[in-house]
Each structure stands twice: as structure tokens, then as C-alpha cells.
Structure 1
Amino acid sequence: MEQLQNHIVTLKPMEIEDVEGIFTAACYKEIWTHMSIVVQSKEDIMNYVQDALRAKRAGSEFPFVIIDSTTNQIIGSTKLMDIHKNHKRGEIGFTWLTPSYWRTAVNTNCKYLLLTYCFEVLGWQRVQIKTDHENFRSQKAIERIGATKEGILRHHMIRKDGSTRHTVMYSITIEEWPGVKKHIEGLL
């Protein structure tokens, strides 16, 4: 996969050399509240990157670092994941941003670039996005871009603290994409 970019954000394929930049962006505990991993050290980031690159080699994920196009600094990460080429579908997920970029145009621009790539280059029929039932900020952001809420997968996962997570599932289909694309362009 290639680098995706516009004047706001660049999505660069993740590489092992990105560990330092990812660590700098990721060293805020509030990022990881609703995530399935614990990140407290550079070793945790190294494991995160190595796991992502293993999944990339296996063809099940494609991780990106999110770069602020004006500063050229890594400010987060996102993935295409749960990729099923035969079924022409996958998921945008495990997206996080350093807190100073929360509630900015960055996440919307990331989703726009990824969705355009998924539907218009890869030819996918479905892109799903899911989130923790308690992550209301994420749910609001997903709904804002025009994804359809499909429902809640009850008792879907066990969180890192051992509690039960219900997962809110959203999707965009190929038929919906032209309208969603126009909607997102209106937000940009």
C-alpha cells in the first residue's frame, strides 16, 4: 500500500523506524483508556509496532502512522484491519491520536483518505468501524462522518482490566459511499 495524504494529514505505512516518533506521540495515558493494550514504555511501543508489522506480513492488517502534514511529526496511528480480500471488506480501526489533536480536522481527514482508498482503489464493498460501548467520543466521531450504526455486539471482548466490553458496530457500504463521501467533503 502506498502513502495517503492531503494538506492536513499524511498516512505513511508504519515502519520499525517509527518507534521513537510513535512513542513521543503515544506517551499520554488518556489515549489508551479504551484501547486493548497497555502503553507505558518504549518497550510497549516496540511490541505494538512489531505486532502490527507481523500482521502486515500476514496480510491481515495494514498499519499507518498519522503525520501532521504541516509539522511532519507523527501524531498517531491507524490501521486497515480484519482484511478479507475475497469478501472485499475490512475495518478501519485501532486509531489513536495524541491528545492535542483530539477534536481537530485530523481524524476526519484520516477517515476520508482511508475510505477513499478502500472503496476507490481496493474496490471493497464494506468498511466497518467499531468501538467500545463506553467510548462516547469515538461513537460521536464515527457517526459524524456518516457511518451507519448496525448494533451492539454484546459481551464481545474482555478489556485489559478484565471487565466486559460491548462493541458498537458501524459500517459504510459501497452503495452508501458516494453520499458519505460528499458528506465528509462538506466537513473538511
Structure 2
Amino acid sequence: MKEILLPGVHVTLRPMKKDDVEALYSVAQDDRIWTYMTNPMKTRLDMEKYIQAALRTKDLGSEYPFVIIHNESGKIIGSTRLMDIVLSHKRLEIGNTWLHPEFWQTSVNTECKYLLFTYCFEELQLNRVQLKTDHENIRSQQAIERIGAVKEGVLRNHMIRVDGTIRHTVMFSVTKEQWASMKGSIEDKINYIK
């Protein structure tokens, strides 16, 4: 994939770079971010490894990691990525999204998804974009449903969390047929001026 920059009203998604370690690590220090994630950032070295692994998957073409920049402050406030990229089948997943809690329940995450969906369906011409989350992460499930994704089911005993407990994974998707009807609704949610 070519370099992708996705500017929005509230946030801009920029390709992750090796030198984003300090900025990402500084916003990753709230433990609430990592409750349902499989890779908490306890140390600066954890963040270095996280970024190195993300950039390796980008080089392989299986993922495309972004940092989330808050336009008003110009600061990095989290990360998201395109993953499980299978262009031959016109599908991928939006995931590994995390934000500093200051931006939870704001239009930031909704706009991130909007920018990514727009790119996926209007630029890449994909058939399907999937999203998944921990079965106990009700806040994330509600956010995914609020943007219009369809719950497809639960993958039982799908992953093992950092603490050793078993995670069931709730699967959602958006299809190209849905996108046209969803787009305006998402724009309304993020207060785009029409």
C-alpha cells in the first residue's frame, strides 16, 4: 500500500513511524487503556517493541498502523490500524485501536472509524471491513454498534489475555452494501457540517 494520510475535522490519521515512541508511550500510561488489550505498555521498551512489530507487519503488507493526531492540539492521542489485509478478497479489519481516556466517548473514535471506512470502501473498493473486541468490553461493543456495524457472532475461547484469562471475541462487520446508508449517519454523529 502507498503512504496513507487521512485528515479529518477533529483528528488526522498519519502512518506510524519509528520515532513515535515517546509520544505514544506518554499517552499510553493510563492502565484503563489496556484492560482489554493483549499487549499493555508497561515500559518504554514495550512501546518500542510494539512499534517495531507494527512496522514489520506494514513492510509485509498485512497491516497498516497509524497514529491518531488530535488536530486542535497537534498531539498524538492514540493509535489504530488496518490489519488482516487481504486485498485479493477485498477485505480487511480495523483494529488495535486505543486512545487516551480523555478522548473516550467523544467524536474522536467515531471520526477515526469514519476516515478508515471511507478509505476502505471508496478508495480500496473493499467488500468487507471487520472489527472485533473482547466479550467483556461492553463500551467498545456499544461504540462499534453505534456506528452501524453488524454483530456477526462470538468466537469462543479465541485469545488469551495478558493475565492468562480466556477472551471470547465478538465479531462485527460492515459491507460495501451498508456503507452508503451508514456514511451520513456517522457524519451526523461526529458533527460534520453539511
CA deviation after TM superposition for structure 1 residue 17, in Å: 1.0
Cα distance in 2 for partners of 1:24, 1:80 equals 23
SS at match of 1:176: helix
Check the 8 A contact 2:25/2:41 in 1, yes or no. Answer: no
Partner of 2:24: 22
- The runs of 5 or more residues in structure 2 that have no matched partner are none
Percent identity of paired positions between Structure 1 and Structure 2 = 56
What amino acid is aligned across from residue 88 of structure 2 in structure 1?
N
| Match of residue 36 from structure 2 | 34
Task: Tell me the residue number matched to 1:182.
Answer: 184
Residues 52-106 of structure 1 show CA distances to partners (whole Å, capped at 9, x for unaligned) of: 0000000000000000011110000000000001000000000000011111110
* Residue equivalent to 1:172: 174
Greater than 4 Å deviation, 4+ residue runs: none
d(CA) in 2 for partners of 1:7 and 1:177?
Answer: 20
Once the two structures are superposed, residues 141-174 of structure 1 have per-residue CA deviations (whole angstroms, 9 ceiling, x without a partner) of 0000000000111111111111111100000000
Q: CA RMSD in A?
A: 0.7
Amino acid at match of 1:82: D
With normalisation by structure 1, the TM-score equals 0.98
For 2:40 and 2:115, the matched residues in 1 are separated by 28
Asked if 1:114 corresponds to 2:116, the answer is yes
Residue deviations 1:97-132 (CA, integer Å, cap 9, x gap):
001111111000000000000000011100000000
User: 1:27 and 1:177 mapped to 2: Cα distance?
Assistant: 35
Q: 1:38 Cα deviation (Å)?
A: 2.4
Q: Using the alignment, how far apart are the partners of 1:131 and 1:122 within structure 2?
A: 24
Question: Partner residue of 2:8?
Answer: 6
SS at match of 1:175: helix
Q: Secondary structure of the equivalent of 1:128? A: strand
CA distance in 2, matches of 1:171, 1:159: 23
Partner residue of 1:155? 157
- 1:70 alignment counterpart: 72
1:64-143, aligned counterparts within 5 Å? 64-143=66-145
Q: Secondary structure at the match of 2:36?
A: coil
Q: TM-score by structure 2 length?
A: 0.95
Separation in 2, partners of 1:119, 1:171: 13
CA distance in 2 between partners of 1:82 and 1:36 (Å): 16
Unaligned runs of 5+ in 1: none
Counterpart residue identity of residue 149, structure 2: A
* Offset, 1:183: 1.4
